[in-house]
C-alpha cells in the first residue's frame, strides 16, 4: 500500500457521505439517491460510480473481485482491481465464492452469491424512464407518484416492432412493488438473480450522481405483459470451452469465413468448470474434438 493515498483513494469525509447515501438507498430499495459524485482518476464510463461505492464499502479485510462483462481479465477489470490493490492494499481474487466484495460491469456472476457478499454495479444511466421522458423534474415526479405507464409503452413498442420484448439488457424491474429500477445494462438473463438474492446489491452512477440499492432478499419483478411474459434469454448453445449449457454466453467470431464459437461470459465460472474436468467442443483435448 502506498502511504500517499487515503485508504481506497477517497478521503474519509467523502466515504462517509457515500455511506450515508448507501444507507438511504438500502432503506428505500430501488430509489435513486443523489450523492456528491467525485472526480475519479479515470474517465466517466469506466465505472466511476462503481469505484466510489467500492471505495466507500472496502475494509482492509475485504477480498475484492472485479469483472467486466463477466471477465476478470479485461482492461477495465484489471485496471480497477489494480487501482484498489494499490490504494487500499486489499486482497484480490478471481473466484466469485472467495470474494467478499465484487465490483461488476454489466453481469451478475453465475455462481450463486451468499449472505455477507456485496455486489457493486457500474451504472451508466440510472433512470429507467429517461428513454421516453427527458425531463429530470418530470421523471422524479413520476417515481414519486408511481406513474409507470411509460415503461410499458417502451415494452409495447418492442413487441409491436419485433414481435417480442426485444429489450435484452437493462431490462426494467419493479422493486418491492414500489420503484421501477434500471438494473444497469446486465443481460436480462441475469434479471432473475436480482430477486431474493442473499447478497447486498449496490448500484453507483458516477456521471449521473445517483446511487440505488437492493438489500438482501429483495423482491424484484420484471415488467411485462400478461400475454407477453418476461423471458430470460441466452444464446441457444453450450460453452465451447467448458460445455456449460446454463450459463450466459459470449459469441466470438473466429475468422473471416464465418467461424464462431460460444464461451461463458463469466470467466471464473468457465475456468472452475474446466478445472473440474468439464470440456466443450473446442476445448484443448476436449472429448468432442
| Catalytically active residues, by annotation | 30, 239, 242, 264, 270
User: Which stretch, 67-75, 79-87, 92-100, 148-156, contacts another protein (CB under 8 A)?
Assistant: 148-156
Using rule CB under 8 A, residue 132 touches another protein = yes
Using rule CB under 8 A, residue 177 touches another protein = no
Candidate list 98, 225, 251, 288; residue touching another protein; CB under 8 A: 225
Which triple of cell numbers denotes residue 20? 450515508
Relative to beta strand 220-222, strand 210-214 is: unpaired
Q: Binding residues for another protein, how many (CB under 8 A)?
A: 17
Using rule CB under 8 A, residue 275 touches another protein = no
User: Which stretch, 25-33, 56-64, 68-76, 219-227, contacts another protein (CB under 8 A)?
Assistant: 219-227
Which residue(s) pair with 105 in the sheet?
68
Relative to beta strand 260-264, strand 118-122 is: unpaired
User: Closest by alpha carbon to 36, among 9, 6, 16, 7?
Assistant: 16
Using rule CB under 8 A, residue 39 touches another protein = no
159 versus 237: smaller Cβ distance to another protein: 159
Candidate list 39, 75, 161, 257; residue touching another protein; CB under 8 A: 161
Using rule CB under 8 A, residue 138 touches another protein = no
77 versus 165: smaller Cβ distance to another protein: 165
- Strand (E) or helix (H) holding 12: helix 12-27
Exposure b/e, 121-130, CB count within 10 A at least 16 = b: bbbbebbbbe
- Strand (E) or helix (H) holding 203: strand 200-205
Using rule CB under 8 A, residue 140 touches another protein = no
Using rule CB under 8 A, residue 166 touches another protein = no
Helices (H) and strands (E) in the chain, counts: 7, 12
The position carrying cell 467470431 is 253
154 versus 234: smaller Cβ distance to another protein: 154
Using rule CB under 8 A, residue 147 touches another protein = yes
Distances (CA, A) of 215 to 45, 145, 163, 188, 206: 25, 23, 35, 20, 20
Using rule CB under 8 A, residue 277 touches another protein = no
Which triple of cell numbers denotes residue 230? 418476461
Distance from C-alpha of 48 to C-alpha of 38, rounded to nearest angstrom = 8
Site for another protein in 232-261 (CB under 8 A): none
Half-sphere exposure for 252 (CA within 13 Å, toward CB):
11
Using rule CB under 8 A, residue 221 touches another protein = no
Using rule CB under 8 A, residue 176 touches another protein = no
Candidate list 93, 157, 195, 215; residue touching another protein; CB under 8 A: 157
Interface contacts to another protein, rule CB under 8 A: 132, 145, 147, 149-150, 152-153, 156-157, 159-161, 224-228
Amino acid at each position: 500500500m502506498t502511504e500517499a493515498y487515503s485508504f481506497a483513494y477517497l478521503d474519509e469525509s467523502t466515504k462517509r457521505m457515500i455511506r450515508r447515501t448507501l444507507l438511504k438507498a438500502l432503506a428505500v430499495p430501488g430509489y435513486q439517491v443523489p450523492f456528491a459524485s467525485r472526480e475519479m482518476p479515470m474517465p466517466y464510463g469506466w465505472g466511476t460510480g462503481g469505484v466510489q461505492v467500492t471505495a466507500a464499502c472496502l475494509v482492509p479485510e475485504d477480498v475484492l473481485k472485479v469483472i467486466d462483462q463477466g471477465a476478470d481479465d479485461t482492461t477495465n477489470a484489471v485496471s480497477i482491481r489494480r487501482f484498489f490493490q494499490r490504494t487500499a492494499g486489499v486482497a484480490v481474487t478471481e473466484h466469485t465464492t472467495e470474494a467478499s466484495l465484487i465490483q461488476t460491469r454489466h453481469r451478475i456472476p453465475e455462481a450463486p452469491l451468499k449472505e455477507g457478499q456485496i455486489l457493486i454495479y457500474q451504472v451508466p444511466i440510472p433512470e429507467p424512464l429517461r428513454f421516453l421522458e427527458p425531463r429530470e423534474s418530470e421523471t422524479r415526479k413520476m417515481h414519486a407518484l408511481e406513474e409507470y405507464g411509460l415503461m410499458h409503452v417502451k415494452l409495447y413498442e418492442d413487441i409491436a416492432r419485433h414481435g417480442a420484448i426485444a429489450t435484452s439488457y437493462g431490462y426494467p424491474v419493479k422493486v418491492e412493488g414500489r420503484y421501477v429500477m434500471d438494473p444497469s445494462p446486465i443481460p436480462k438473463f441475469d434479471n432473475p438473480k436480482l430477486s431474493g438474492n442473499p447478497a447486498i446489491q449496490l448500484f453507483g452512477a458516477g456521471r449521473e450522481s445517483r446511487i440505488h440499492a437492493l438489500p438482501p432478499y429483495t423482491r424484484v419483478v420484471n415488467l411485462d405483459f400478461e400475454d407477453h411474459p418476461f423471458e430470460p434469454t441466452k444464446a441457444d448453445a453450450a460453452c465451447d470451452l467448458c460445455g456449460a449449457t446454463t450459463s450466459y454466453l459470449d459469441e466470438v467470431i473466429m475468422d473471416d469465413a464465418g467461424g464462431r464459437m460460444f464461451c461463458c461470459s463469466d470467466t471464473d465460472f468457465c475456468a472452475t468448470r474446466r478445472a473440474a474436468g468439464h470440456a466443450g467442443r473446442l476445448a484443448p483435448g476436449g472429448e468432442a474434438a
